Each structure stands twice: as C-alpha cells, then as structure tokens.
Amino acid sequence: MDAGDDALTLGAALWSIAVGIELTIRITMVGIVPGNRRPTTAMAWLLAIFFLPVAGLLLYLLFANTKLSRRRIERQRNVNESILEATQHLSGGTWAPDAPDWVLSAVELNRRLGALPLQGGNAVEFITGYKESLDEMRLEIDRARRYIHVQFYIIGDDDEYVAPILEALERAVARGVKVRVLFDHLGSLRVKGYFALVRRMSAAGINWRRMLPLAPFQRRWRRPDLRNHRKIVVVDGQVAFTGSQNLIEPGYKRSSAHKVGREWVELMVKVHGPLVTSLDVVFATDWSQESDEDLLQDLAAVEDAIREAPDAGEDLGQVVPSGPGFETENNLRLFNTLIYSATERLSITSPYFVPDDSLLYAITTAAQRGVEVELFVCEKGDQALVQHAQQSYYEALLRAGVRIYLYKAPAVLHSKCMAVDDDVVVMGSSNMDMRSFSLNLEITLMLLGSDLVDELMKVQDSYRANSTELTLEQWNERPMLSRWIDNVARLSATLQ
C-alpha cells in the first residue's frame, strides 16, 4: 500500500469519526434540549444543532442555561421567604376591598411569585419628558440626607443629561450621604466613556458595583447575555423613580442614532409612599448579590417601613420583580393573567414585542372575544433582528383584530406599559419579549384605579397622535423577501 492509499484510508477514517461524532451529538441532544424548555425554543436549538452539530452544541453549552448561580437563586429565595413572613398580615383585600375578583387574583399571584404586597397610601406621577425625569431625580438627590440608591441597566458618562446627576451624587457624598450605584456590566461597558465614569465615581467616594459581572478569573461566570435590566432610584426611603429610562442621553451615545436624529421616548414614574420601600427592597436584594453588604439584615425594619410608611396619597400599587433569579416568569404570568381578565380594553406599548405562544394566544384571544386591543410599537426599531422578529407576528395580530400603531421613525418608543379596562396599569422595565421573560432581571409596577388608568391613557393618546395605523391590507403587500427575513429572525429569537 503506497502513501496515497494510506492518506485515503486515514481520510476515510477521520470522516467516519466526524460523522459518528455529529450523529452522536444529534441523537443525544434530542433527549436533552427539550427538558424544561418551551417547545419553540427547543425546536430552534435542535435545528441549530442538526445543521451545525459541533458549533450548535458549543452555542448551546454557552447560551442555553437561563439560570443564575445556585447561590444567587438561594439568596433570592431566602429574601422572598423573609419578606412574606414579615408582611404576612398584608393582603390585597386590606387595601382594595372593593376591587374586582380578577384584580385581587392578580395581586395574590404577584404576592406568591414576587413576595411583595399590594400597598396603599401612595402618590404616583407619570413623567414622559426625557430631561424632565432626570431633572426630577437631580432635585431629589440634592435633598437627600441619609442615602441614595441608584440602579440602571445603562449609565452613560459625562454629558448635559448625565453630568447634573453625577454632580448631584458627588455633592451628596460630600455632605455625608451614603451613595450606592448599581449598573449592568455589559449594558454600561459598551458605552463610550465607561472607564472614565467608574474612575470618577471612585474618586468621588461613590460606592458602585457592576451587576452580573463577567469576571471568569474571579470565578464569576454565567451565560453572558443574562442581564439586570432594572431601573430604580430611591432617596432616603421617601421618594423613588422607576420605569423604562436609562441614565444616558436620549440618543444613547450612538453615532448612528445621532446621524439620523433618533432619540428614545421613555416613561417613568415618581413615587411617594409605601411603594418606595418595596422598590428599595428590590435594590437592596440586587446590592446584596453584588457585594458583601446586606441591606436587608433587619427585616423587622422592612416590616415596620412597609406597615408604617406615611400615606402620601390614595394610589394603590404593587412591585413585581422578575428574572432568572426566580423559578417562575413572574412578569409573563402577570401579563397573561391580566390580558385574559380584560373585558373592555387593552392598550399596550412595547418597544420589543416578541411574545411566546402563551402571550400571543392571550392577546389574540382577547381581541377575538371582543376586547378592544391596541398595540404601540416602533415603526423602525434600533435592533434590526428584533424588529424583523417582531414583524413576523403582525399578521396574526391583525387577523385577530388587534390594532397596531407604528410610532414614527426615527424615534424609538422605548416605554413599556399596559392599561387593562379601567382598573389596572402595568409599567416598568419589562418588554413583552422572551428576553425580558427569561433572561433579564426586570422590575414591574402594577397600579390600580381608574384615575391612574386615565393618566396612562393620556400618554397612550400622545403616542397614537405620533403614529400611523398598520392595516392587514398594507402588511400583506410587503415583498416576499421581507417575509422571509422576518420568519428567519423569528426563529432565531426563540434561541433562549
């Protein structure tokens, strides 16, 4: 046998080994991938593994685990149990005895999943102006006497929007106020000026931590796209802010956005009253995950704060934390519960609308049983793949009777909110997409009462005035290539 025959024999052997490995991967993963995973997600992963076995397996090992570390999950569970015990005397009926049964059912669901109770005696103010909300935060920071808690997915560096906040935090430290700042590691790392920002905070004496840091040499590693997406500011336990806005200028420091004049449209709330304590509990929980300082050591103080916080108004609300630190998808379960309970109207705003099957069925079923359903989305989003995935759902929604309003480009409608009949408002950081349900730590605020619904509907009316309605006839005229791209993007969106 000559050298050529030897090479052919070796090549055939290597080919057989490669085929055997690929076949083994395919067969093995068929019995592994579907476990505790949505069927659509499992199918997307299996398709990736069947077409590219080795590469698909590596991607699966890197990205398929949606859970946080055992330590983080256990700590969250302990916090939930302690809060439930400390506030067991509080129930939905305590504050809303006349609320419809379906509202009290949603309150109980939130209580069991997220631990925090419904609370009355609040004053809630919606803030739609980008600069206005930052100015309100700065004013409250300058009034601080004891502590300031700041938490954002993205924090930008010094500019006309962020500089006043940073300067106010520096003044607070100088007068002896404890300032704690949390920001998502990857969310902020990619923003130009990140290293200058952290140097400035350190020099000022601001105590800051990265949320969900990727630090493999410190044995802090997880699926890299698990992110903390919450936005919370609490001052002295007396006033808080939450919503969709990040601490960055409205073009998100993106040259592509500035080039076309793209700015983000946000919705925040300013809260006085007992709900401030619930938001502070969420911050404290996240802080304890990233530092050795336990801000929830004295749970009796938490109980007293929730029970004895002075009434600031008549608004009712409940804070709903969610994310991979919980064993259930708290935000998705709440959304589905409320949508199935609606009898008259649903008004939904979501910048990234990529629902799972359960949410898609809930919304289309609501429209089909006569509920007036409207959905506000971006005409052109800032993330092309997500935009195409979102568009793949438009036909099913339109055929069911959902009215879709496209917020005019180049603006990015980044608000996340929903009004249900005349009874419930939901708003916060959570999108209606599978990333927010499974991968992101989110914060949602459920508010009760027709007055707050009316206030949110005024906001939605302003969105409608700057939108064009999409019709089924218009949508069916789009090119076949666009349909193909939308459907491919939809498949990739399920790789959670």
User: Catalytic: which of 253, 270, 272, 414?
Assistant: 414
- Helices and strands per DSSP (H, E), number in the chain: 21, 20
User: Catalytic: which of 149, 185, 229, 253?
Assistant: 229
The verdict on whether 101 is a catalytic residue reads no
The verdict on whether 192 is a catalytic residue reads no
- Give the containing element (helix H, strand E) for 112: helix 101-114
The verdict on whether 89 is a catalytic residue reads no
- Longest distance between any two alpha carbons in the chain, whole Å: 93
User: Catalytic: which of 388, 416, 423, 486?
Assistant: 416
User: Catalytic: which of 135, 225, 236, 451?
Assistant: 236
Backbone φ, ψ for residue 317 (5° rounding): -160, 165
The verdict on whether 229 is a catalytic residue reads yes
Annotate 428-469 with DSSP letters as a single string: ES--EEHHHHHTEEEEEEEEESHHHHHHHHHHHHHHHHTEEE
User: Catalytic: which of 149, 185, 231, 272?
Assistant: 231
The verdict on whether 135 is a catalytic residue reads no
Task: Give the span between the Cα atoms of 76 and 114, in whole angstroms.
Answer: 10
Give every CB contact of residue 247 below 8 A, 6+ residues apart in sequence: 134, 150, 152, 154, 155, 156, 162, 165, 183
Annotate 35-99 with DSSP letters as a single string: TTS-HHHHHHHHHHHHHSHHHHHHHHHHHS-----HHHHHHHHHHHHHHHHHTTT--HHHH-TTS
User: Catalytic: which of 280, 315, 421, 433?
Assistant: 421
Of 356, 364, 393, give the one whose Cα is nearest residue 377.
393
The verdict on whether 414 is a catalytic residue reads yes
List residues with catalytic annotation. Answer: 229, 231, 236, 414, 416, 421
